[in-house]
Every structure is written in C-alpha cells, then in structure tokens.
Amino acid sequence: MRKTVRGTTTAALVCAAATLLTSVAAAAPAPGAPSVGDPYYPNAGNGGYDVSHYDIRLSYQPTTDVLSGTTTITATTTQELSRFNLDFGLKVSSVLVNNVAATFSANAAGDGELVVTPARPLAKGAQVTVVVAYNDRPSTVKINGFTSWVKTADGALAVNEPEIASWWYPSNDHPTDKATFDVSVEVPDSVVALSNGNLVRTTKNRTGWTRWWWRSTQPQATYLTSLEIGKFEVNRQTTPDAKPFITAYGADLGDSLGAAKASVERTPEINEFLATQFGPYPFEAQGGVVTTAIGFALENQTRPVYGARGFIGGSNASLVAHENAHQWFGDSVAVGRWSDIWLNEGFATYAQYLWSEHVGEGTAAELAQYVYDSKPADDPFWQVLPGDPGADRQFDAAVYDRGAAAVHALRSQVGDDKFFQILKTWQATKKGGTGRIEEFTALAERIAPGRPVRQLLKVWLYTPGKPFAGPNGPTPPRAAAVATAEPKSYKEIQRALANHAHDHK
Ligand SMILES: [Zn+2]
C-alpha cells in the first residue's frame, strides 16, 4: 500500500497529466496488510477485508489426527485488493474466491500466513466468498515454532489464547474482526464434537459417524471459537430464562467429576448474579466443558472450557464466576489491542471478589485490600503494569490481582452508584465489539466528572511501584483496614486464578 502511494507521488512529479495519473494510481489494487499491526502479536490478523461469517465444515478422525474439510468465509473488502492474507497453518488443497480458483501460498515461512491471490483483483466494498479446502494433522503443525492444538487419547482440543484458530480454520485472527460462526464437525460415533453457541442438530450421513452442528449468532472473536472432541458426558438443559444451557464432562474426570459438576452446573445462577452487576447476559446460550486435556481454563464464548485440575481441590464456583464474567469483559467487549488485557482479566478477577461478597465470604473491599497489604513495596509484583504488561507478561499474576485492586480503587474513588453505572454503560455501548483502556477511562471521566479517575488509573495501571494509596483510598474503612488476615475466599480465588494461566508464546 505504501509503495503504491510512493509510486503515485513519483508519477505526479514527472508527468504533466499529474492529476489524472494520481487518481488512476491511487485506485490501483494493492495487497492487503499481513497484520492488523498489534504490537504484542505482529503476525495477528490481516488488513483489507472484514469477515462477517465463518462456515467451518470438517471431519476429524481421532485415531490419525486427520482434520479435513472446508471453511467458507464471507467478507467485505475495505480496499481494492490484488491479494490478501488469512491466518492459517494447515496444508491447503484449494482456495476459491467468488467461485474461481485462486493461487495461494500456505504457511510458506512457517509464520501461519496463507497468502491468497484471486484470479482478478477485488473491488473495494465488495462482498467476497472464500472457500478454503484443507487436510492435515494439526498436532504436527508449528507456527512460529509453536503448537496450540492438543491431541488427546480419544480426540483433540482447540482451546487457547490468543492463538488457536490457525490450527483448525483459516481466519482474520484478531479480536477486532469478530464474526458469526457455524461449526459443523463430523466425528466417529464413539466421541462427540463440542463448540460454541447452540447445538442446531446432530446428523448421521455415513455409518459410524455423527456430524455435530453448532451455531454462534452473536459476533465472536476467532480465539474464543473452540472445538473439543472426545468422550464426554453431554447434558442439555435450559436456563431459567429459556436459553440453551449445555455442559459436557470428560469421561476420564474420575474423582473430580462431582466437584466439577457442583461448580459448572451453577453457571446460570452465577450469570444471573453477574447480570445484576454488569447488565444483561450478552449471548444466546450458556454452558461449560470440563476436560483433563488442558491445565487452564478459558472463557470461550457461551461455553467456557475448564481444565479438570481446577476442581481437584473441590468445587470452585469462583473459577466459574471468573470465566463467565469474561462473557461480558473479554467476549462481548473484546480487547481492541492485546495490551488492553486488563479490561479482561482485571474485571473477571474483580467479579470473583463480587461473587465472594455475594455468597458471604470476603468482601470486595477486604479482598482488594488484602492483595495490597500482602505484597510489600519491593515485591516484583508491583513492577508489572496491568495497563501495558508486554506480550510476555500478558497473563502475569499482577494483571489479575493488581488489575482487580485497580478496579476496586476506581470504585472507591467514584462511589458505588457511578461505578456500576460505568460498568453497565461500558457493556451496553460496546456490546458485540471491542474496547480500549483509553476509551474506558474517558467513559469513567464522563460519568464521574471532577473525580481524578485518569490520574488514579495512571497510577494503578501504568506506573511501576506500589501505589501510595490503597484500593480503598488513603484511609481504608475500618473493616478493610484489618485485612491482614487472609479473607476466607482469597485462597479459593487464587486457586481459580492458578487454573486460569494460559499457555502462550
Ligand atoms: Zn481470565
């Protein structure tokens, strides 16, 4: 793109018919950018188009780890395109653009870029249909030397943050390009295939195989789209407000099964409480999947996925509160850039504090004060900046704990009424899209004029060192001031957070 502009300038200088040539050159098709330009993940996403829908139609054979089928992408171009990139690592057999074969280069540099050159350039603002056919063993595929796909004894899992899509479907892999999804996966009858949203139906097209068709009708980020294949106990219920509530428990949970169910089956109750704090639950379905195949939990849209180890120490409603709080903070309102991770983890952790107070354990004020008091000023904990932790420390404990204390510091500063008004307005105005910390700060300033909100968030999110004033203000209220004893729920919250650390590069 930049080269074309430079060429235009040169042409304008040397040619008498400068105006005419400039307009012709400016309209020339250019390659779409290979990235959205997120500094934390320089390869993530692409430029030149906006995806509205993914139709993922696959078959998976657990015995060989062979994944094959097609993904059909419906997109609109945002510039005239001579070629464009998708993020994908698997072997591609063909690419059609508007039903015409395109040339392509698939993961040639091992960086997960699928470069597609259509037979003819694409006009700006045009609807485009891209069909990518592929067949590969995802567990053998490395992108930038890294593997996200988890092969299990009886299936596989595609659950990770922030990079997982490229191991099972081609996409514009950045939260700024959300889309709706149909995920239809055929697997042997002995296992099930789980994903997000509603289970539209299961069908049997050939002997011994069942096709599971899932649909997400709300905008969904690519990394929050998941696939879990294996032996699971699947429970289909409805929430009190008549939404599908589908849970699944790995057949090998053993002793953890009871505690897992005692936690995840409470999801509708927990979401009902969270809705009183953040506003209406944003999606069309609820649920949860528990598996021994991963050691962390992730807030996959409508259906979080929990590593079974989160329930080894007993029931863990706090973990369920954390992952479901992300349905608002992270899923419905996704990060605009990955440096905005505080908007996800600070608030999901603070939701654990709110839940703790709701069930009569430690109050939010006590928990935030305990985090502050239990970390001495020289602890490296205070050197991590929740507002811009760096890609390597994106999931550092400080993003969660200092991040949650920062949320409470904001609450102390503006008072309960304005605090919950900020949260609910943020959700209502950003629903289905993305948000930046700067935008959140501006909203808080607008709702609480005259309060030093910007200065407070600067100290808590962007300044190394322990803030001089604690999360309950310079003089904490009496109950909070004596939080030198660990609040009852603190261990449970830490246990939940320990099971929320994601694998990432
Ligand atoms: Zn989280």
Model pLDDT for residues 357-405, shown as the tens digit of each residue: 999 999 999 999 999 999 999 999 999 999 999 999 999 999 999 999 9
What are the tens digits of pLDDT across the range 397-427? 999 999 999 999 999 999 999 999 999 999 9
CATH fold of the domain at 334-503: Neutral Protease; domain 2 (1.10.390)
Q: Which amino acid is at 237?
A: Q
Q: What is the pLDDT of residue 498?
A: 80
- The answer to whether 290 touches 306, Cβ cutoff 8 Å, is yes
Report the top-level CATH class of 231-319: alpha beta
10 Å Cβ neighbour count for 356?
Answer: 24
Ligand 1 center to residue 80 CA distance, Å?
A: 38
- The answer to whether 160 touches 298, Cβ cutoff 8 Å, is yes
CA-closest candidate to residue 197, choices 101, 74, 286: 286
Ligand 1 center to residue 500 CA distance, Å?
A: 6
Ligand 1 center to residue 396 CA distance, Å?
A: 11
Q: Which pTM was predicted?
A: 0.92
Q: What is the pLDDT of residue 481?
A: 46
Tell me if the bond preceding 162 is cis, omega within 30° of 0: yes
Alpha-carbon gap, residue 120 to 25, rounded angstroms: 17
Ligand 1 center to residue 324 CA distance, Å?
A: 9
Ligand 1 center to residue 346 CA distance, Å?
A: 8
* The pLDDT of residue 503 is above 60: no
Alpha-carbon gap, residue 456 to 191, rounded angstroms: 51
Ligand 1 center to residue 141 CA distance, Å?
A: 27
Ligand 1 center to residue 349 CA distance, Å?
A: 7
Q: What is the pLDDT of residue 476?
A: 61
Ligand 1 center to residue 133 CA distance, Å?
A: 34
Ligand 1 center to residue 470 CA distance, Å?
A: 23
Ligand 1 center to residue 143 CA distance, Å?
A: 24
Ligand 1 center to residue 206 CA distance, Å?
A: 40
Tokens in use for 439?
């935008």
- Break the chain into its structural domains and give their ranges: 2-28, 32-221, 231-319, 334-503
Alpha-carbon gap, residue 384 to 393, rounded angstroms: 8
Pairing of strands 127-136, 92-97: antiparallel
Ligand 1 center to residue 65 CA distance, Å?
A: 29
Q: What is the pLDDT of residue 15?
A: 38
Which residues make beta-bridge pairs with 203?
A: 211
* The pLDDT of residue 504 is above 70: no
Q: Degrees (nearest 5) of the Cα angle 489, 331, 201?
A: 110
Report the top-level CATH class of 32-221: mainly beta
Q: Degrees (nearest 5) of the Cα angle 386, 391, 394?
A: 40
- What does the mean pLDDT of the chain come to? 92
Ligand 1 center to residue 142 CA distance, Å?
A: 26
User: To the nearest 10°, the Cα dihedral for 344, 346, 352, 353?
Assistant: -150
Ligand 1 center to residue 295 CA distance, Å?
A: 14
Which residues make beta-bridge pairs with 53?
A: 74, 180
Kind and range of the H or E element at 24? helix 18-26
Q: The dihedral of CA 354, 360, 361, 367: what is its sign?
A: positive
Mean pLDDT of 273-277: 98
What are the tens digits of pLDDT across the range 204-218? 999 999 999 999 999
State whether residue 226 is helix, strand or coil: coil
What are the tens digits of pLDDT across the range 121-157? 999 999 999 999 999 999 999 999 999 999 999 999 9
Alpha-carbon gap, residue 40 to 108, rounded angstroms: 22
Alpha-carbon gap, residue 49 to 74, rounded angstroms: 10
